[in-house]
Structures are given as C-alpha cells and as structure tokens.
Copies of this chain bind each other. A is one copy, B any other.
Amino acid sequence: MKTNPGRFFEDYTLGEVISHAVPRTLSGGERAAYHALYPARHALHSSDEFARACGLPAAPFDDLVAFHTVFGKTVPDISLNAVANLGYAEGRWLKPVWPGDTIRSESTVIGLKQNSNGRSGVVYVRTRGLNQSGEPVLEYVRWVMVRKRDLDVPAPAPVVPELKDFVPASSISVPEGLDFSNYDFTLAGEPHRWGDYAVGERIDHVDGVTVEEAEHMLATRLWQNTAKVHFDRTQREDGKRLIYGGHVISLARALSFNGLANAQMIVALNAGAHANPCFAGDTVRAWSEVLDKAETGAPGVGALRLRLVAVKDGAAPFTLKDEAGKYSPEVLLDLDYWALMPL
C-alpha cells in the first residue's frame, strides 16, 4: 500500500528519532494569512519598525506560527491515529522564526505506556523544530493516546518520562538582542507593564469570535496539518468537523491582546489541555490568570507566567472547573505559558 495509514501504538520504539516530512519555507504570505485568521495585534509581530525599536532585525513571526508549523509536520507520524491529545510540557521557543526561514521537525520517542485495556497506549515525544541552519527554534513534549492495530503485540516496558510541572524562569530563552528599554507603550496599545500585573490577577479579555468551518480549515491546512477529523465531515458520526486545538490556542492568544497587549512574545509552554472539543458556530472567548512573574536579565524584559483559558458560548466569567475538579463543558482550552513583557 502506498498511502500512509499512520502509526499505531506498537509502531513506536523508545528512543527512536522520527524525522518528519515536508519542510516549509515561510514568508510574508503566512504572516498575512495569520492576521486574516486571528485577531492578532501584538506590535512586535505586526511591525518591522516596532521590532527594530526592540532590538530585533525585523518582526519575527508570531510564536504560534512557529508552533503550528512544527506541530503540523508531526501529525502524519504522531497523531494520525491518536484518540486524544493528552498534554504538553517543557515547551521552549529557542529562536525567532523570520520570513524566509525553512522549518522542519523531528521527534524523539521518550515514553511509552500501554493502557490497561490493551487497546491503546500513551506515546510521549519530544519534538524539535529546526530552521534551515539546523538551529532549533522550538522544542516541546507532547503525549497522545494512540490505538493499537494488532492487539496481540505485547506491551512494551512502560516508561513515563519525568516532566517538569513548568519551565523554570531560569530556562527561558530570550531572543538575542531583545531590549525593551525604549518600549513604546502607545504604539503597543496598552500602558500596562510587567510591574502592573500581580500574581493571582485575572483578566477577562471581553472580545469573542464566532468560528466558521472555512476559517478553521484554512488555518489548519496552512500548517500542513493532515488530521482527517478537521476536514472531512464523514469522519465523525455526528457529521461535525473537529476544530484543530491549535486553532483555539491562536484564537485565545489573539483575543488576550485586550488586557495583555504587552505580553509580546511566548517563550515557554508549561502545560496545556484541550478541555472540550470546539466546533464551527461556537463563539470563543478567553480569560487569563497571572500565575507567576520573573525577571529575565535582558534589558527591560520581564516574564509573566500566564494561564490562558478559552471558553465558548454561555460560560460565566472565569469559568474553569466544576467542584469535582473536572473542566466545565464550556471550557475549550487551559494553557500555561510564559510571555515576555516590558518591565
């Protein structure tokens, strides 16, 4: 058979390195498409002039463009037969991605654990995105539940990697040259600086976006993500196309501009849960909570650790979990990340 059936649980070996296919050269075209798809307004990613005033040679891509590009390449090898995308950890952006860069991805299998039912198992991979010079631009750990094709294959010795609860501030990589000493708060859109945010503070980002089928498919294809459930309405019994979780991440991040306009760059992904599926017709909103704060050593550059929660229609303000600790049905995303902000 010439087509790719995707890998099943028994096809993964601990320690193996998977080189993902189809490198991608990004240009101003992807930047424009990102602006059309998401209400993204962070000035550092929107304006070459603003980025230069912050010590960078030009505006890098939104950090989630790097994430989606790297992630999309892993889908045919990692999650084509995934039953669930279980989590993220230890995500670090290591170098900005610029128009003209060519990105490819590779993943190392760092954990395998068959489920007790014998029908599926959890695969842990550490994925790295690399640019045309072979420099890593992003790395993260992700684990997914994958079906077995042949239930008779014996279970591998269970290995669950030890993962950090969150990326320590000391491990954050600040882009070379970044300097917020002369940061223009007016051009950036809000006056609130790092010192104005308090741990525990919560922000309702107010705005909402009602999602259309065409939009999430355009977005998901843009990153060459091939998971069938996003594009083919015959894949699910209810005839609905499941929206790529990353689409919700980008929507929520862009909506968070309103209240976090100066959280210019995402530098670490501590954890993330796609709490409930998102479908076309849902109106997506977002709220954030400040989880931690740190200085970075770079001139004028502080870091905020933020929880970003995406919810849909009907969610009360700051909805998250019910009394039993389960995500409320209106919660779509619970993301924990570090962002850079002027001191």
Contact = CB atoms under 8 A, between A and B. Distances in A.
Interface of A: 2-4, 19, 21-33, 35-41, 43, 46-50, 59, 76, 99, 102, 104, 132, 186-190, 192, 196, 203-210, 212-215, 217-219, 221-222, 224, 226, 228, 231-235, 241, 258-261, 283, 313
A218 B221 contact: no
28 contacts: A3-B203, A3-B258, A4-B258, A21-B188, A21-B190, A22-B189, A23-B187, A26-B32, A27-B27, A28-B30, A29-B29, A29-B30, A32-B33, A36-B218, A36-B219, A36-B221, A48-B132, A207-B226, A208-B231, A208-B232, A208-B235, A209-B232, A210-B213, A210-B231, A210-B232, A214-B214, A214-B215, A232-B283
Given A21-B41, A41-B226, A215-B218, 18 more contacts: A2-B196, A2-B259, A3-B203, A3-B259, A23-B43, A25-B48, A27-B32, A28-B99, A35-B221, A36-B222, A37-B221, A39-B221, A41-B224, A46-B224, A47-B104, A208-B234, A210-B213, A234-B313
Nearest to A76: B189
Contact of A41 (B22, B46, B49): B22
B233 A210 contact: yes
B47 A102 contact: yes
Contact of A190 (B2, B48, B215): B2
Contacts of A43: 21-23
3 A-B pairs with least C-beta separation: A29-B32, A27-B28, A21-B189
A258 B4 CA distance: 6
Contacts of A30: 28-29, 32, 35
B47 A226 contact: no
Given A208-B234, A218-B215, A224-B41, A49 B25 contact: yes
A209 to B, nearest CB: 5
Contacts of A27: 27-29, 31-32, 99
Contacts of A41: 21-22, 224, 226
Nearest to A30: B32
Nearest to A21: B189
Nearest to A39: B221
B39 A226 contact: yes
A213 B206 CA distance: 21
B3 A204 contact: yes
Contacts of A224: 35, 39-41, 46
Given A2-B260, A28-B27, A259-B2, A209 B189 contact: no
A39 B244 CA distance: 15
Contacts of A233: 210, 283
